[in-house]
Amino acid sequence: MPSMVRFLEAFIRRTDSLTERSGQAVRWLTLLLVLVVVYDVFTRYVLSSSSVAVQELEWHVFSILFLLGAAYTLKHDKHVRVDVFFARMSAKQRAAVTLIGGVLFLLPFTFVVIVSSWPFVVNSFRILESSPDPGGLPYRFLLKAVIPLGFMLFFLQGLADIFRSMLILGGRIPPEGEDRP
């Protein structure tokens, strides 16, 4: 059993590290998104000029930010939930909720999205999909590839949180000092 605990702890550490690195990279996308939006607003309202490519770039960057930032958000416990109940729970109760919610909802949902998005992405690569709009961005297939990637990161972080909750509930790691289960 100690080797299993070591495996789970190593998995948690590696996944947390991967999530942290991807989250740090995604932070720069926020700055890029702000700059693109400012440019779009300036050209549209000051220069009376508009570009389909710039507008598409806005939602492309936002999509990547959202998809790749989901795991980071989960790791730092900043996702949406009913905190009025969760905050009043003990650390072990929070770990139990995280474990049950992860097994029943998070992992199945992310798995379904990964599996069901794969043919969608493969087809997009096969036809080298680009924007259907005149003046739109090429390489839309690259954007679509971020869907399963983002959900794979989300799945791994969810699994790490489930393992962490198991270790807390099993008394293998202390809940004290944890900012989340």
Averaged pLDDT for residues 153-165: 97
Q: For residue 165, give both structure tokens.
A: 């909750």
Averaged pLDDT for residues 31-42: 95
Model confidence band, residue 181 (pLDDT cutoffs 50, 70, 90): very low
Does residue 34 carry a pLDDT above 70?
yes
Domain boundaries of the chain, sorted by first residue: 2-169
Does residue 12 carry a pLDDT above 60?
yes
Does residue 178 carry a pLDDT above 70?
no
Q: Which amino acid makes up residue 172?
A: R
Q: Please give the pLDDT value at position 77.
A: 81
Q: What is the pLDDT of residues 42-88, one digit of tens each?
A: 999 999 888 899 999 999 999 999 999 999 999 988 877 666 677 78
Q: Please give the pLDDT value at position 24.
A: 92
Q: Please give the pLDDT value at position 126.
A: 96
pTM of the model: 0.87
CA distance 113 to 26: 21
Q: Which segments within 6-141 are labelled E, that is strand?
A: none
Averaged pLDDT for residues 123-146: 92
Model confidence band, residue 176 (pLDDT cutoffs 50, 70, 90): low
For residue 8, what are the contacts with CB-CB under 8 A and spacing of at least 6? 163, 166, 167
- Tell me what percent of the residues of the chain surpass a pLDDT of 90: 71
Does residue 179 carry a pLDDT above 60?
no
The 10 Å Cβ neighbour count of residue 106 is 20
